[in-house]
A = this chain, B = another copy of it.
Amino acid sequence: MFVKAEWSCNLSAKLDLLAAFAEIARGLGNAHRLDLLEHLAQGEKGVETLAAKSGLTVANASQHLQALRRVGLVVGERRGKQVVYRLSGDDVLDLVAALRTVGERHADSVKAVVRDYFNERDALDAVAFQVLEQRLRDGLVTLLDVRPPDEFADGHVPGALNIPLADLKARLAEIPSGAEVVAYCRGPWCVLAFEAVALLRQTGRDAKRLDGGLPEWRRAGRQVAGPPAI
């Protein structure tokens, strides 16, 4: 079969444009950078904080942040001695969410990781925002924020109880017994909530993950308690 070439027209304009979009995609094309974006989705942060939270050296985190800034996914602002980074807009959250949707639906590698590391039932058995709100109103549920206290302080779902995952074992007594527990953390794939649910179930509690973390809650236009608004 012979097919005539059809790219007679302004090919370089098109390729330049697509190359610009491709550059943005490559900005997302690294696990550490996706991790940094998840942390930045909780709120703006300095380089050293981000490096510590994502387990990178400061120099390396700085380079990744500059890569993200170069393609416009984050913006950095000098504030005194520090440079504070934040997401450049809500559309970045939408982009990462779209990436996750495709990944969940299609990529075998994602399915394999979920199967290997998480209980597959836990992954599917997440509570939607609307359901949570209904049960919170009815007092049927304890909402647990398992992120570190600094992120909790920067903003959290109203009514949530903050017990970081690291302390959860020691502070089980603080969780009212009887009611169902719903845990959330940084996002739909943040491991903190997965592990919290696993631990709570081991101790005989009725625990579920919230389907989405604080950034998704905020993005859905819900009220956020605690911080000065962005």
Residues of A within 8 A of B (CB): 1, 3-11, 13-35, 46, 48-49, 51-55, 71-73, 88-89, 91-92, 94-95, 97-103, 105-110, 113-114, 116-118, 148, 165-166, 189-192, 195
Across the interface, do A29 and B31 meet the contact criterion of CB distance under 8 Å?
no
Cβ contacts under 8 Å, A53 to chain B: 3, 6-7
Partner of A107, one of B23, B54, B108, B118: B23
State the majority secondary structure of interface residues on A. Answer: helix
Partner of A28, one of B22, B30, B71, B113: B22
Q: What's the Cα separation between A54 and B48 when bound, in Å?
A: 44
Cβ contacts under 8 Å, A99 to chain B: 21, 24-25, 95, 98
Interchain residue pairs with CB less than 8 A apart (12):
A9-B166, A17-B110, A18-B34, A21-B28, A23-B107, A24-B103, A73-B106, A88-B106, A89-B105, A89-B106, A91-B102, A91-B105
Partner of A31, one of B9, B15, B28, B108: B15
Across the interface, do A107 and B25 meet the contact criterion of CB distance under 8 Å?
no
Partner of A166, one of B8, B102, B110, B166: B8
Task: Report A227 CB to chain B, min CB distance, Å.
Answer: 19
Across the interface, do A102 and B73 meet the contact criterion of CB distance under 8 Å?
yes
Cβ contacts under 8 Å, A1 to chain B: 46, 48
